[in-house]
Chains A and B, each alone.
Chain A
Amino acid sequence: MSNITNDEVDVVIVGLGWAGSIMAIELAKEGLKVRALERGPDRPPEDFAYPKPADQYAYAIKNKVFATPRDAALTVRYNDSETALPTRKWGAFAPGTGVGGSGLHWTGVLIRPTTTDLKLKTYADHAYKRGSLDPDMRIKDFPFSWEEIEPFYDKFDKICGLSGTTGNLKGVIQPGGDPFEGPRSSPYPLPALHDTYNSSLFAATAKKMGYHPFPNPSANVSQAWTNPYGAQLAPCNYCGYCSKYPCLNYSKASPQTTILDVVKRMPNFSYRANANVIRVDLHADKKTAKGVTYIDENKNEVFQPAKIVILSSFQFANVRLMMLSGIGQIYNPLTETGTIGRNYAFLSNGDATLFFKDKHFNPFATAGATGEMFNDISPGNFEDGIKLGFIGGAKIHSSQATGAPIGTSLPKGTPGWGKGWKEGMVDWYGRSMKIGITTTCQSYRGHHLDLDPNYKDPWGQPLLRMTFDWRQNELKLQRYLRDIVLGIAKELGPDSISENFLALDSHWDITKYVSTHNVGGAIMGDSPRDSALNRYLQSWDVHNVFVPGGNAFPQNFQANPTATIGAITLFAAEAIKNQYLKNPGPLVQV
């Protein structure tokens, strides 16, 4: 082990997932010398040629391309009075690692939040009587208007080749799309994926019942696509190995397929894999960073000097790096002082599985994002939440992200092993469909992140500690959604239904996968008093540090996060190019 200092660069990027890759190409195109550091291995596309990813055990069970808990665990507790315990195995969420990050093996549902979702605090203040919501709730508005951010959603849609059906074009509602979506400046770049049997049954029934189903907006491209950077994607062939797998067909928008192939050819861009950044190095006054320090594959400690530091290492890894580097002050929920770690939020799932003796769903013939959903039950679109005293909603959907057999659901009462289990598999594999919910999740005073006093990573640094549990607001929402889902399920007339929703006394179960849609912890806002970043994702405290990722969301909406991560990252890149480079310093004055 020795100490090495690299040549200085204009921009160092920590983590090469979606956020890091977007920053890399946007800033490299501006002529800056950009270097990305990625803790995991390189993952070139040839590693994923057919048939390698067609392997459920390696990719979906053993998480072949994910970070291991051994290297990337955090600790969890339900409230501040408890001792947190480590996530020794992944369960509720599972972060990626390696070039491409989670964007290599995500599902590809690329959907925007609604205009109300972005201004939730304003909506709550207007729609709910004072005092009718949990007094510990700390929801906030995003610090920009729909009109300001929409062009960046539009750009990210085009980077990915978004496939789907337009619902609102410049304020005009379009048939077959989501009537609740915010106005788009241009239609979806590509038509929707084809519906699998489950989604067509679901959509027809939901429509009959008065809901407004539309095809899941998808970054698994339905047709050949050339994106604004000149990268080409091939039509998805519904291979069935999508969510948790790298794409074997160049069809899923990933950092590799849409950005990295292009930026790697630029002489002013370089990257290092197996480079684990352990801190951002600050100048003595803590107002600017001078670079970052990483451990390379030979265990050398390397200092990388840089004029601008981009932390794009995923939501909770970003928060942890800020804390380990002394950027800003760690949040204290008692005094509500400090900004790093506040407004952490996760989300919940729930579903009903419908079994039909006489139907073949061929669940393997599917793409990650195939499915239909509706957005009728989202804030501002229905009144019951106000009456019942909760705020929030869900996308309600029937999707079929994968159909490989390990983990197949079997009807209630089927034995877990022995002859009964085996014959259950023969009788029921391919004969069920799910109707699911993906919910909003609000932020609360007591839900936060800080550094764990007891547990360390293999590099000797404290693990991040997560304090989180379900609140009545989220549990009441689950019970409400359950009735809707079961109503649709019964209408479909299956032979049996099994259900999986949270009860009013549920605690967060970290053992069951929900999704890797963790948000908050270093949020964007209008004031350094209660946010870590300004609207350009710039640290209020250290002005040459920018922190794109889900960490910037003040609470979680029912839409999947990556469209918004893409949009705010592009918005921030634009501000760096047009404003910061000319006049380095805080971009928002308070």
Chain B
Amino acid sequence: MSKDKFSPSRRTILMATAAAVPLVSVPVYRAARADGLEGVELAQYQPVFFSAAEWQFLLAACDRLIPAEGRGPGALETNVPVFIDQQLHNGLGDDVYMAGPHKADAPSTLGFQGTFTPQQSYRTGIKLAQQVAQQKHGKPFEQLAPADKDALLTALQKNEIVFADLGEPGLKASSFFNQMLGDAKNGYLADPMYGGNKDMKAWVAIGFPGARAAYTEWVDQHNVKYPLGPVSVSGKRA
């Protein structure tokens, strides 16, 4: 490995940039296609899976799972709830083997053995979480103070809220929470075509170049930060 690979000149970077661009440079028709879910404004979005009331919970929960405060964009800024709504509407979890019999007390190392689809998990989980918010605070989850929201989410995550005690023995609070958290992270970091990661803001924040998918000139440039911003599958740039 020659020394100069560790300290590329400005010229090398420019050359790499120039070489990388044509590979991903976007035919106009593709840029025009980059509307659809990528162009959605969260405030105007009409959920297709969630009811209006459930949607309020989801917005508030996502806002705590990936909040706006601190460095990097939050879940609402990046349309994470749109992603979740679209995924549930489009059959998220259709690939799971659901035939019975089911064994609820199986060791966790044998994996998911539940009876709830992701859709059912959200419907039931939101209903029960709202019930707890009402019992404890006398108002719905979305109206709680941030610290109370976080405490309630934590209680779900740790199964301190016992869904069985609320009449639902078939679903654990933690599995509802984990489904929602996993989906939120997926929506934050997936390609924007699925409705989340709006304008690739999450990718910009962490330094991931998205769908560029051609790095011949970069594999040898060790410990040099890659300089180009992300490109989406639809050909948009950020």
Instruction: Tell yes or no: A500 within 8 A of B by CB.
Output: no
Contact of A360 among B94, B110, B225 (CB under 8 A): B225
Evaluate contact between B191 and A56: CB separation under 8 angstroms: yes
Q: C-beta contact mask, B110-128 vs A, less than 8 Å → 1, else 0?
A: 1111000000000000000
Q: Beyond A404-B208, A405-B208, is A55–B191 a contact (Cβ under 8 Å)? A: yes
24 CB < 8 A contacts A-B: A52-B233, A54-B191, A56-B190, A56-B191, A61-B186, A70-B94, A85-B113, A87-B111, A88-B111, A237-B214, A239-B214, A362-B225, A364-B209, A365-B219, A370-B219, A417-B153, A418-B65, A419-B69, A419-B70, A421-B66, A425-B202, A425-B206, A429-B206, A511-B111
Q: Which residue of B lies closest to A248 (CB)?
A: B213
Contact of B233 among A54, A85, A238, A408 (CB under 8 A): A54
Evaluate contact between B189 and A88: CB separation under 8 angstroms: no
Evaluate contact between A194 and B71: CB separation under 8 angstroms: no
Instruction: Tell yes or no: B106 within 8 A of A by CB.
Output: yes
Contact of A423 among B1, B70, B103, B184 (CB under 8 A): B70
Q: Shortest CB–CB separation between residue A308 and chain B, in angstroms?
A: 33
Cβ–Cβ < 8 Å partners of B190 in chain A: 55-57, 61, 406
Q: Shortest CB–CB separation between residue B153 and chain A, in angstroms?
A: 8
Q: C-beta contact mask, A220-236 vs B, less than 8 Å → 1, else 0?
A: 00000000000000010
Evaluate contact between B111 and A360: CB separation under 8 angstroms: no
Contact of B99 among A237, A418, A455 (CB under 8 A): A455
Evaluate contact between B226 and A422: CB separation under 8 angstroms: no
The interface on chain A, measured as residues whose beta carbon lies within 8 A of the other chain's beta carbons, has a size of 67
Chain B residues near A (Cβ < 8 Å): 1, 24, 64-67, 69-72, 74, 94-99, 101, 103, 106-113, 150, 153, 181, 184-186, 189-191, 193-194, 202-203, 205-216, 218-226, 233, 235
CA distance A430 to B207 in the complex (A): 8
Cβ–Cβ < 8 Å partners of A241 in chain B: 213
CA distance A425 to B197 in the complex (A): 14
Evaluate contact between B215 and A70: CB separation under 8 angstroms: no
Q: C-beta contact mask, A56-96 vs B, less than 8 Å → 1, else 0?
A: 11000111000011100100100000010111110100000
Evaluate contact between A417 and B66: CB separation under 8 angstroms: yes
Cβ–Cβ < 8 Å partners of B202 in chain A: 405, 425
Q: Which residue of B lies closest to A76 (CB)?
A: B110
Cβ–Cβ < 8 Å partners of B97 in chain A: 69-70, 73, 86-89
Chain A residues numbered 388-417 whose CB sits less than 8 Å from any CB in chain B: 404-406, 408, 416-417
Beyond A51-B235, A365-B215, A430-B207, 5 additional pairs, beta carbon < 8 A: A57-B186, A88-B97, A88-B112, A405-B202, A426-B206
Q: Shortest CB–CB separation between residue A522 and chain B, in angstroms?
A: 24
Contact of A239 among B206, B215, B223, B225 (CB under 8 A): B215
Cβ–Cβ < 8 Å partners of B225 in chain A: 360, 362
Q: Beyond A61-B186, A85-B103, A362-B218, is A429–B208 a contact (Cβ under 8 Å)? A: yes
Q: For chain A, what secondary structure do more than half of its interface residues adopt (helix, strand, loop), or is it mixed?
A: loop
CA distance A238 to B217 in the complex (A): 9
CA distance A117 to B154 in the complex (A): 49
Q: For chain B, what secondary structure do more than half of its interface residues adopt (helix, strand, loop), or is it mixed?
A: loop
Q: Which residue of A lies closest to B64 (CB)?
A: A418
Q: Which residue of B lies closest to A356 (CB)?
A: B223
Q: C-beta contact mask, A426-455 vs B, less than 8 Å → 1, else 0?
A: 100110000000000000000000000011
Q: C-beta contact mask, A347-374 vs B, less than 8 Å → 1, else 0?
A: 0000000000001111011110010000
CA distance A405 to B191 in the complex (A): 11
Number of A-B contacts (CB under 8 A): 182
Cβ–Cβ < 8 Å partners of A195 in chain B: 1, 219
Q: Beyond A57-B191, A76-B110, A429-B207, is A360–B223 a contact (Cβ under 8 Å)? A: yes
Q: Beyond A70-B95, A197-B222, A365-B219, is A419–B67 a contact (Cβ under 8 Å)? A: yes
Evaluate contact between A416 and B181: CB separation under 8 angstroms: yes
CA distance A194 to B181 in the complex (A): 37
CA distance A240 to B219 in the complex (A): 10
Chain A residues numbered 470-516 whose CB sits less than 8 Å from any CB in chain B: 507-511
Contact of B203 among A55, A365, A405 (CB under 8 A): A405
Cβ–Cβ < 8 Å partners of B226 in chain A: 360, 362, 364-365
Evaluate contact between B109 and A454: CB separation under 8 angstroms: no
Instruction: Tell yes or no: A456 within 8 A of B by CB.
Output: yes
Cβ–Cβ < 8 Å partners of A248 in chain B: 213
Q: Which residue of A lies closest to B218 (CB)?
A: A365
Cβ–Cβ < 8 Å partners of B215 in chain A: 237-240, 362, 364-366
Cβ–Cβ < 8 Å partners of B103 in chain A: 83, 85
Cβ–Cβ < 8 Å partners of A238 in chain B: 214-216, 218-219
Q: Beyond A194-B220, A360-B224, is A86–B203 a contact (Cβ under 8 Å)? A: no
Contact of B71 among A87, A426, A509 (CB under 8 A): A426
Evaluate contact between B111 and A422: CB separation under 8 angstroms: no
Instruction: Tell yes or no: A375 within 8 A of B by CB.
Output: no
Contact of A510 among B95, B109, B194 (CB under 8 A): B109
Cβ–Cβ < 8 Å partners of A417 in chain B: 64-66, 153, 181, 184
Contact of A89 among B96, B101, B221 (CB under 8 A): B96
Evaluate contact between A422 and B74: CB separation under 8 angstroms: yes
CA distance A375 to B74 in the complex (A): 45
CA distance A57 to B150 in the complex (A): 27
Q: Shortest CB–CB separation between residue B37 and chain A, in angstroms?
A: 13
Instruction: Tell yes or no: A459 within 8 A of B by CB.
Output: no
Cβ–Cβ < 8 Å partners of A239 in chain B: 213-215
CA distance A238 to B184 in the complex (A): 29
CA distance A422 to B223 in the complex (A): 23
Cβ–Cβ < 8 Å partners of B191 in chain A: 54-57
Q: Shortest CB–CB separation between residue A340 and chain B, in angstroms?
A: 24
Q: Shortest CB–CB separation between residue A388 and chain B, in angstroms?
A: 26
Cβ–Cβ < 8 Å partners of A86 in chain B: 97, 99
Cβ–Cβ < 8 Å partners of A365 in chain B: 215, 218-219, 226
Q: Which residue of A lies closest to B220 (CB)?
A: A194
Cβ–Cβ < 8 Å partners of B95 in chain A: 62-63, 68-70, 89
Cβ–Cβ < 8 Å partners of A57 in chain B: 186, 189-191, 194
Q: Shortest CB–CB separation between residue A373 and chain B, in angstroms?
A: 18
CA distance A177 to B148 in the complex (A): 59
Sorted from nearest, which 8 A-B pairs have the closest CB atoms?
A365-B215, A54-B211, A57-B190, A68-B95, A239-B213, A73-B97, A429-B206, A197-B222
Q: Which residue of B lies closest to A91 (CB)?
A: B111
Q: Which residue of A lies closest to B214 (CB)?
A: A237
Evaluate contact between A364 and B150: CB separation under 8 angstroms: no
CA distance A545 to B238 in the complex (A): 56
